[in-house]
Amino acid sequence: MLAKIVPTMLFFKLWALMPLALLIVIGGPPHANGEPQLGSAVSPLASIVNPVRGILDPVVGVLSPVVEVVTGLAPIPGALLGAVAPHTDVLNPLLQSALLQNNITQFSSDIVTSLTAVVGLVANALLPVPPYLRPDQEAPKFGFVGEAYNVTTSDGYILGVFRVRSGTCRSYRSVVIIPPGVLSNAASFIFLKENSLVYRLARECNDVWLLTFRGYIFGRGHTRLSDTSSEFWDYYQYHWGVYDLPAQIEFVYRKTNSTRMRYFGVDQSGTALLFMNHVHGQRYQRFLAATYLFAPIGYLGRLKSVVFATLAVLRDGLTAAGALVLHNEVAFMNPTIHSVLYNLCGRISPITCYYIFQILAGNSREINYPLFPYMFANLLDSISVTTINYYLQQVGKINYMAYFDYGPAENLRRYNRTTPENVNIAATTVPCNFYALGSDSVTVPEDVLATYRALAPSARASFQVLDKYSGVSGLFAVDTEGIYGPAIRRLNADLASGA
């Protein structure tokens, strides 16, 4: 047995070290923008390759006109693929009821988890990845007070909640809660340092709380389950809205007594909110006075991103790969993958990742890539395969938002019905301010507007399109006033008028 496993291990390790070897040859640690290094320990090897940092950037820079043309064309085939996507679920019903619950997949996933942990250790010794940004520890560096708490949901997930506020305010004007965006976490809205949404709100004497959704780096604890089990990763946006938001809203209420919370967020924060209100009605939205949401996702049928439209066509493959390789986790925070991503986007060539984000999310220059060495300590974050598939199921279906479709047999087992229930978007009655992002190819403004129109009349507070931004600009904007200014002015007007 051992004799069989050891050569496999060696092979796997060598294979996984290839990209790292490449990274070591072509690049080195960053000091982009004169950013202070986060990790204090720099390996001897890293200091040798230091002088050749960012060596790929000029090459990619020369290619930029070509890349921009390609990303400009992407929406057209994206829309075509989107039209095909609803009809390409062949294996999924079978996969959902068999493969995902299977012990063999857990066994293969355990092997991959152990191997990648070893490779991650080696990688980290060669090119250290800085520690994760923790909002409670970052806040004091920018002159604010930070606090950290854990909140346990009714189904056992342990979620990190962070509070950031100014120590010099005599009282606070409002309590703001901010859940994380897609593939991101509680640090999403501090990436832009002094210009970030969190610090801007805190500077103006708002009491800011950063929330966590299960699966993200501050939400990998559970009272009973291991974060390497398929059962832990058996969740999607429904669970964020129906379990994670309520537990944290109640927690913030107990800490502040506020029943006038302001809910800020991007993309999936909208999805979670719609699920929460569909299931719980007024029970938790009565703690909210208003929401301010960038590119909120309710409907997603008109998605144009060529990458996500392709994934929507290939989602059976994604399900199978996720189940077989890593317990249904899209494992960006796997130590090996995180190390490769950090070194590529944070050290070797931030501009390459700038173009990758353009191709993924839309042709916008509003991506502040010089800050990537700071941000990529926390990016990209892990998510469950079902969470990605949930959005992919909507591609090409106009004005469609329902529960996850597991296929007839599994639907019957989970929901006691063969087709998934629709989500009643009109259950959301709290005043909502929607900011669609005009250059977004994922959450396109037409879908955001259609979602807005489906809200209860009392919820339609304002709708605005911010033209030059894409879906990732919510976290990475260069012109931060252009994206956050309208929502912050709206908040201030609401506070002044008592709305």
Ligand X SMILES: *[C@@H]1O[C@H](CO)[C@@H](O)[C@H](O)[C@H]1NC(C)=O
- By the criterion CB under 6 A, which residues form the site for ligand X? 103, 148-150, 158, 160, 221, 256-257, 416
Q: Which amino acid is located at 375 in the chain? A: M
Quote the least distance from Cβ 162 to ligand X, whole Å.
9
Cα atoms found within 13 Å of the Cα of residue 430, Cβ hemisphere only? 26
Quote the least distance from Cβ 219 to ligand X, whole Å.
8
Quote the least distance from Cβ 150 to ligand X, whole Å.
4
Instruction: State which residue, 31 or 417, has the beta carbon closest to ligand X.
Output: 417
Catalogue the long-range contacts made by 46-50 (C-beta closer than 8 Å, 24 or more residues apart).
Answer: 46/126, 46/127, 46/128, 49/24
Distance CA 248, CA 365 (A): 35
Distance CA 467, CA 97 (A): 43
Quote the least distance from Cβ 149 to ligand X, whole Å.
6
Instruction: State which residue, 40 or 257, has the beta carbon closest to ligand X.
Output: 257
Instruction: State which residue, 154 or 416, has the beta carbon closest to ligand X.
Output: 416
Instruction: State which residue, 148 or 495, has the beta carbon closest to ligand X.
Output: 148
Q: Which residues contact 311 (CB under 8 A, 6 or more apart)?
A: 318, 388, 392
Q: Which amino acid is located at 480 in the chain? A: T
Instruction: State which residue, 134 or 315, has the beta carbon closest to ligand X.
Output: 134
Quote the least distance from Cβ 419 to ligand X, whole Å.
12
Pick the closest to residue 285 from 260, 251, 320, 314 (CA basis): 260
Instruction: State which residue, 142 or 149, has the beta carbon closest to ligand X.
Output: 149
Residue nearest ligand X (C-beta atom): 221
Quote the least distance from Cβ 103 to ligand X, whole Å.
4
Quote the least distance from Cβ 302 to ligand X, whole Å.
34
Pairing of strands 206-210, 221-222: unpaired
Instruction: State which residue, 122 or 279, has the beta carbon closest to ligand X.
Output: 279
H or E stretch covering 117:
helix 103-126
Pick the closest to residue 62 from 307, 349, 347 (CA basis): 349
Instruction: State which residue, 148 or 465, has the beta carbon closest to ligand X.
Output: 148
CB crowding 345-380: b at 16 or more within 10 Å, else e: bbbbbbbbbbbbbbbbbbbbbbbbbebbbbbbbbbb
Distance CA 328, CA 17 (A): 24
Quote the least distance from Cβ 108 to ligand X, whole Å.
14
Distance CA 372, CA 97 (A): 40
Quote the least distance from Cβ 143 to ligand X, whole Å.
22
Distance CA 273, CA 459 (A): 12
